[in-house]
Amino acid sequence: MSATGQEATPLLALRGVRVRRGSQVVLEVPALDVWPREVLGIVGPNGAGKSTLLQVMALLLAPEAGEVRFRGAVVDARHNPVPVRRRLAVVFQEPLLFDTTVFENVASGLRLRGVAREALRTRVMAWLARLGIAQLAERPARTLSLGEARRTSLARALVLEPELLLLDEPFSALDYPTRQALLSELPGLLAAARTTTVLVTHDPLEARALATRAVALQAGRIVATGPVDTVLAAAGLGPLAGAVSLPAPAERC
């Protein structure tokens, strides 16, 4: 039975995955499933292997052992992973925007996919509006604040309507008001888009605001999986003292 109770096959599955850097094993995952339409939080301290795990999921890093399955089919990051990568979108810690306008940044992936001009414009402007940056469409990316750049990066990923969205510490280094605003808005956007999401974070507030289920990593190994609060406690992150109340993640249906 899936985490949502509705799907028999996970969207993404890892089996027997091992990643080594030099002589050190930095990631060892016997089994991990990501179920359709859930938001899976990957939590743990810095250096726990969270970003390495995300790179494996994104088919950007081939493990030395094990396999990655997408909708039940094995995918090898070393041998033509592009067809599956086109069904994913990744938002990294740094926005990594092109030196062009906000509109052109968000449109870039659609252009590579050959989307017609009018449909492209409609989709880009719709996501700019949803993320509250439609007024910045013609602004050069180099002039954006960090918060505006993060919103642009999210729009660039979500406009692709990916089957799987991978977020690597997307709120790090944001000022408090910008971070709170994004944490409040993103659950509704993900629910409306019906997007399966993996969120890497070391911050319990972010996990509680967004995740419907969580996995805790320590020293490259899974130490807990299940309900968010249970996993946070197992990871030693514990209850939040004085945390700002945020909307609960929307139910997946």
Note the pLDDT tens digit of each residue in 178-214.
888 888 988 988 888 889 999 999 889 899 999 999 9
**Residue 174 pLDDT:** 83
The alpha-carbon radius of gyration of the chain (Å, integer) is 18
Residues 48 and 60: their CA atoms lie apart, in Å, by 18
Q: How confident is the model at residue 171 (pLDDT cuts 50, 70, 90)?
A: confident
Residues 216 and 218: their CA atoms lie apart, in Å, by 7
Q: Considering only 51-60, 70-79, 103-112, 165-174, which range has the smallest mean pLDDT?
A: 165-174
Measuring CA to CA, how many Å separate 103 from each of 109, 111, 121, 166?
11, 12, 9, 22
Q: How far apart are the first and last CA of the chain?
A: 15
Bridge-based pairing of strands 65-70 and 12-21 is antiparallel
For 51, what's the count of Cα atoms within 13 Å in the CB-facing half-sphere? 11
Q: Taking 80 as the threshold, does the pLDDT of residue 251 lie above it?
A: no
Measuring CA to CA, how many Å separate 4 from each of 34, 211, 212?
10, 13, 9
Is the dihedral angle over the CA atoms 33, 35, 41, 46 positive or is it negative?
A: positive
Q: How confident is the model at residue 167 (pLDDT cuts 50, 70, 90)?
A: very high
Q: Which of 244, 241, 229 is nearest to 182 (CA)?
A: 244
Helices (H) and strands (E) in the chain, counts: 8, 10
Give the helix ranges, DSSP H, for the chain: 50-57, 82-85, 102-112, 117-130, 146-158, 176-193, 204-210, 228-234
Q: Is there a contact between 57 and 196 (Cβ–Cβ < 8 Å)?
A: no
**Residue 34 pLDDT:** 98
3-class DSSP state of 6? coil
Report residue 219 as tokens.
């020293």
pTM of the model: 0.87
Q: What is the pLDDT of residues 32-62, one digit of tens each?
A: 999 999 999 999 988 899 999 999 999 999 9
Q: How confident is the model at residue 70 (pLDDT cuts 50, 70, 90)?
A: very high
Q: Taking 90 as the threshold, does the pLDDT of residue 252 lie above it?
A: no
Angle at 225 between CA 161 and CA 53, to 5 degrees: 55
Give the helix ranges, DSSP H, for 58-101: 82-85
Residues 205 and 186: their CA atoms lie apart, in Å, by 13
**Residue 248 pLDDT:** 40
- Return the domain boundaries, the chain: 1-87+162-173+180-237, 95-161
What is the CATH code of the structural domain delimited by 1-87+162-173+180-237?
3.40.50.300
